[in-house]
């Protein structure tokens, strides 16, 4: 949301926010989720300050409803459009917890009457394991085929975002620990992503053989090299190549690099990996983003037995 001011002005609100976070810790809320819940409450308290209410004793039950109404009509500074119901529901969750906090700690007896809004998030497109196998089979036995398999290892096997894959350099492949060092993740966050042996072998073969052939006499640290002139592949080139593989594999779904990311997350969940681990693997800021993959929490196993993720981690 557009911040009304850089930080809270009320000393009481500053202490209240800190106490709210400590209370969540006592209730064993995930350390990964507490910062988000606190940020949502800060937005509400800033709204209160803007409406002239700088003390908790001024709080009324309708303030929460008025704040949610404000969010529904506000335009996001970054997204340049109205907030989604999903985003607003996160604030409703925080306000419900805040109401419980002030009542249980004796700070205020005000309760909020808030109902979650209907969420509109669409289920992401993802590829079945059979379709992923078809992508691998669509790669050739030449230099570009070796590069294609390394790309699939990065975008599917490691679940990287398009920009993360485009920014990879050779030095980011840690051969000792078999991890990818993502230096330019979303929100400028770094993370290390484990690489399964089959994916690691594909990346190593590309670096040690195909990449050297594609480089010619060009000098670049970029991991992925274009076929012509040995230049680094940008986001557009990587996306186009994956789309070409999708078409060659005969896959009818509208799929790109992010579809591969959705697919590995879905397959990991199908194979029993916990959401917390998937969250860390994908580099999500909080579990809200990872929860969308629970649409397959009770998957139907494919014919022939349990789904075996042959190219995942």
- 96 and 195 within one domain: no
The pTM is what? Answer: 0.61
311 in a structural domain: no
302 in a structural domain: no
Comparison of pLDDT for 121 and 284, the residue scoring more: 284
2 in a structural domain: no
Residue 306 has what pLDDT? 41
- 268 and 138 within one domain: yes
- 266 and 157 within one domain: yes
Can you tell me the distance from the alpha carbon of 115 to that of 91, in angstroms, rounded to the nearest whole number? 11
Listed residues 63, 89, 104: the one ending a domain:
104
- Select which of 261, 267, 279, 311 is catalytic: 261
Can you tell me the distance from the alpha carbon of 84 to that of 117, in angstroms, rounded to the nearest whole number? 10
Number of domain units in the chain = 2
Active site residue 284: yes
Question: Considering the chain, what is the average pLDDT of its residues?
Answer: 88
Residue 295 has what pLDDT? 58
Residue 5 has what pLDDT? 52
Task: State pLDDT tens for residues 46-63.
Answer: 999 999 999 999 999 999
- The answer to whether the CB of 44 falls within 8 A of the CB of 98 is yes
313 in a structural domain: no
- 275 and 140 within one domain: yes
- Select which of 161, 241, 279, 311 is catalytic: 161
- Is 298's pLDDT higher than 50? no
- Is 161's pLDDT higher than 70? yes
28 in a structural domain: yes
- 134 and 233 within one domain: yes
CATH number assigned to the domain comprising residue 97? 1.10.150
Task: State pLDDT tens for residues 19-37.
Answer: 999 999 999 887 767 888 9
Task: State pLDDT tens for residues 113-141.
Answer: 999 888 666 678 899 999 999 999 999 99
77 in a structural domain: yes
Active site residue 2: no
Q: What is the mean pLDDT of residues 215-238?
A: 91
Q: What is the mean pLDDT of residues 218-238?
A: 92
Q: Which residues contact 86 (CB under 8 A, 6 or more apart)?
A: 119, 120, 121, 288
The DSSP string of 163-174 is: HHHHT-BGGGEE
Comparison of pLDDT for 31 and 66, the residue scoring more: 66
Reduce the DSSP state of residue 179 to 3 states and report it.
strand
Active site residue 181: no
Domain around 60: 11-104
- 147 and 82 within one domain: no
Residue 187 has what pLDDT? 63
- Is 151's pLDDT higher than 80? yes
Can you tell me the distance from the alpha carbon of 257 to that of 240, in angstroms, rounded to the nearest whole number? 9
- Select which of 90, 267, 284, 311 is catalytic: 284
Length of the chain: 313
- 211 and 178 within one domain: yes
Candidates 232, 233, 230, 231; CA nearest to 214 is 230
Comparison of pLDDT for 251 and 77, the residue scoring more: 251
Residue 121 has what pLDDT? 61
Active site residue 277: no
- 99 and 54 within one domain: yes
- Is 1's pLDDT higher than 60? no
Comparison of pLDDT for 44 and 304, the residue scoring more: 44
- Select which of 183, 186, 191, 243 is catalytic: 186
- 136 and 96 within one domain: no
Listed residues 104, 119, 146: the one ending a domain:
104
- 185 and 96 within one domain: no
- Is 13's pLDDT higher than 80? yes
- Is 190's pLDDT higher than 60? yes
C-alpha distances in Å from residue 267, one per residue of 127, 130, 233, 270: 9, 11, 28, 5
Residue 293 has what pLDDT? 78
Can you tell me the distance from the alpha carbon of 205 to that of 224, in angstroms, rounded to the nearest whole number? 13
Residue 226 has what pLDDT? 94
197 in a structural domain: yes
Active site residue 258: yes
- 168 and 242 within one domain: yes
Can you tell me the distance from the alpha carbon of 198 to that of 217, in angstroms, rounded to the nearest whole number? 30
CATH number assigned to the domain comprising residue 259? 1.10.443.10
Lowest mean pLDDT among 82-86, 234-238, 262-266: 82-86
114 in a structural domain: no
- 60 and 143 within one domain: no
Active site residue 42: no
Task: State pLDDT tens for residues 70-104.
Answer: 999 998 776 678 888 888 999 999 999 999 999 99
């Amino acid at each position: 949301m557009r911040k009304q001011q850089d930080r809270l002005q009320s000393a009481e609100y500053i202490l209240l926010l800190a106490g709210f976070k400590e209370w969540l810790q006592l209730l064993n809320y995930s350390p990964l989720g507490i910062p988000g819940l606190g940020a949502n409450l800060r937005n509400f308290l800033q709204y209160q300050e803007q409406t002239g209410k700088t003390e908790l004793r001024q709080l009324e039950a309708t303030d929460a409803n008025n704040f949610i109404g404000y969010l529904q009509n506000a335009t996001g500074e970054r997204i340049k459009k109205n907030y989604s119901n999903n985003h607003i529901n996160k604030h409703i969750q925080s306000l419900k917890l805040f109401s419980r906090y002030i009542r249980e700690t004796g700070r205020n007896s005000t309760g909020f009457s808030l109902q979650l809004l209907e969420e509109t998030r669409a289920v992401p497109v993802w590829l079945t394991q059979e379709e992923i196998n078809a992508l691998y089979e669509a790669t050739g036995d030449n230099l570009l085929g070796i590069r294609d398999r390394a790309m699939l290892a990065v975008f599917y096997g490691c679940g990287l975002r398009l920009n993360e894959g485009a920014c990879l350099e050779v030095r980011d492949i840690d051969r000792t620990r078999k991890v990818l060092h993502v230096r330019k993740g979303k929100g400028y966050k770094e993370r290390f992503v484990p690489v399964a042996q089959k994916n690691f072998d594909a990346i190593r073969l590309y670096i040690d053989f195909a990449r050297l052939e594609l480089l010619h006499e060009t000098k670049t640290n970029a991991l992925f090299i274009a076929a012509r002139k040995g230049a680094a592949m940008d986001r557009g080139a990587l996306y186009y190549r994956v789309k070409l593989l999708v078409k060659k594999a005969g896959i009818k779904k509208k799929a790109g690099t992010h579809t591969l990311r959705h697919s590995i997350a879905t397959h990991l969940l199908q194979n029993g990996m916990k959401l917390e681990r998937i969250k860390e693997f994908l580099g999500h800021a909080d579990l809200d983003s990872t929860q969308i993959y629970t649409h397959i929490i009770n998957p139907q196993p494919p014919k022939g037995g349990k789904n075996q993720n042959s190219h995942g981690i």
